[in-house]
Chains A and B, each alone.
Chain A
Amino acid sequence: MEQFTEILNRLYQMTAFSNIVENPAFLIMYALAFVLLYLGIVKKYEPLLLVPIAFGVLLANFPGGEMGIIQADSEGYVTLADGTKKLIWDMPLHDIAHELGLMNFLYYLLIKTGFLPPVIFMGVGALTDFGPMLRNLRLSIFGAAAQFGIFAVLLIAILMGFTPQEAASLGIIGGADGPTAIFTTIRLAPHLLGPIAIAAYSYMALVPVIIPLVVRLTCTKKELMINMKEQEKLHPSTTEIKNLRTLKIIFPIAVTTVVALFVPTAVPLIGMLMFGNLLKEIGSDTSRLFDAASNSIMNTATIFLGLCVGGTMTVEAFLNLQTIGIVIGGFLAFALSIASGICMVKIFNLFSKKKINPLVGATGLSAVPMASRVCNEIATKYDVKNHVLNYCMASNISGVIGSAVAAGVLISFLG
């Protein structure tokens, strides 16, 4: 009988139940994973990202499964299961796979090296059309104003007790650009990668809720009814594009060169974004590369990025006060970015005869093209003929460049 009890006890110890009973916090992580899966699958909030992230969260929190990411400390040491410490950069990849598990192998190979975010940016570039931006160049400046949220929250987060590196990673959520947020966090505060990625992508998915909320608080009906096409007729633009195709080919090459000279730390993001775009614009000669960049490579990168980000959200890394601070700070960064873009348009309208709809400023944060679509819906709600999509896309696309530059500044100062 005693032997039977011992066998049962061993069986119990072998399962994950013993660890879950010992530390019920795992149940919170399962609940979080299920909520994220629900949002991704049923509510269709960014399913391409939320589903892999949520499943990664689930995998990471099964005790004994060895799928949770073990973060190296500030000096690069990781604690193994037997309690010994090893310098991660001295460990060959097969040792990482063997001793820390498959997810850590993927994390240290693909994420920690900063490999995946630029690869995803290449795919984003391949799917981006700079046409609306080139047709409405002057509206691109609002992509700069909308980066204010990043730096404002950086200051607030420092006041809340975050270190400058952590605060910068938190602030970059205001750029509304997932790969940029991940890239910056990997460089500055890798231990916060999980909550920051979740906050960034969750708020991006909530763009249809957040933008109307901020717009309602900051804009009047009269401002929202400014018809951009009528303004264009009243004050026609003097610039005419005669050869858009050639222009679109030269533009990514020129922008990469100029940005690389001024902010070299932004090159991995801007460079890959523009490279992807160049592949698209060249046309049939590079169509196979374009197809790979925008489909197979991007999809593969998204799967691994999502799973690894989810894998960083272990009980120890996620359930703490810092995460709550990140959730609040992330929302603030997002809202401030939208509001600052709107304010910039309002200031501009004070001095210009050619009025601009403040919704163009609201799309200065990235989240392409969802932010533009949402703003177009708001504009048409007030005036069915007032389609602002193309104008919003100009500031929306320049916001991608703006947030990458802001990330470059943060990395070069704090990295």
Chain B
Amino acid sequence: MENISLALELMVVGMITVFIILMIVIQLGKWLIMGVNRIAPEQTVTHKRQTPTPAVPAADARTQAIIRAAVDRITGGRGQVKNIERLP
């Protein structure tokens, strides 16, 4: 009988705790969305080009993006690609 009352107590306490924690997580999520939207809304990426450059073929642009991603991964984000030149 004692164990049954313990089980009932655990059921009530457990379910209330799980509901409260998830409600807090939901509310926390809402606050975080509001906070992030206000403080750090995603910036639109603008491509400023100071000097006119010749149009880059699509394949080259893709290759450049792959090289940049590879360098970023290998150097753990510390390396930067400044210039990519095709060797003769």
CA distance A32 to B4 in the complex (A): 34
**1/0 per residue A222-248: CB within 8 Å of B?**
000000000000000001111111110
Interface size class of A (residues with CB under 8 A): 35 or more
Number of A-B contacts (CB under 8 A): 131
- The smallest C-beta distance from B60 to any residue of chain A, in angstroms, reads 23
Say whether B61 faces chain A, with CB atoms less than 8 Å apart.
no
Q: Are B25 and A398 in contact (CB under 8 A)?
A: yes
Stretch from A13-21, A38-46, A115-123, A141-149 at the B interface: A141-149
Stretch from A189-197, A280-288, A367-375, A380-388 at the B interface: A280-288
For the residues of B in contact with A, the DSSP-based class is helix
For the residues of A in contact with B, the DSSP-based class is helix
CA distance A266 to B66 in the complex (A): 42
The verdict on A401 contacting B21 (CB below 8 Å), with A134-B33, A242-B37, A250-B32 known, is: yes
Say whether B84 faces chain A, with CB atoms less than 8 Å apart.
no
Chain B residues close to A by CB (< 8 Å): 3-4, 6-8, 10-11, 13-15, 17-26, 28-30, 32-33, 36-37, 40-42, 72-73, 76-77
Chain A residues close to B by CB (< 8 Å): 133-134, 137-138, 140-141, 143-145, 147-148, 150-152, 154-155, 158-159, 163-164, 167-168, 239-247, 250-251, 254-255, 258-259, 262-263, 284-285, 287-288, 398, 401-402, 405-406, 409-410, 413-414
Would you mind naming 25 contact pairs between A and B with Cβ atoms under 8 Å apart? A134-B29, A137-B33, A138-B26, A140-B25, A141-B19, A151-B11, A154-B7, A155-B4, A158-B3, A242-B36, A243-B42, A246-B36, A247-B33, A250-B32, A254-B28, A258-B28, A263-B21, A284-B76, A285-B76, A285-B77, A401-B22, A406-B14, A406-B18, A410-B10, A413-B10
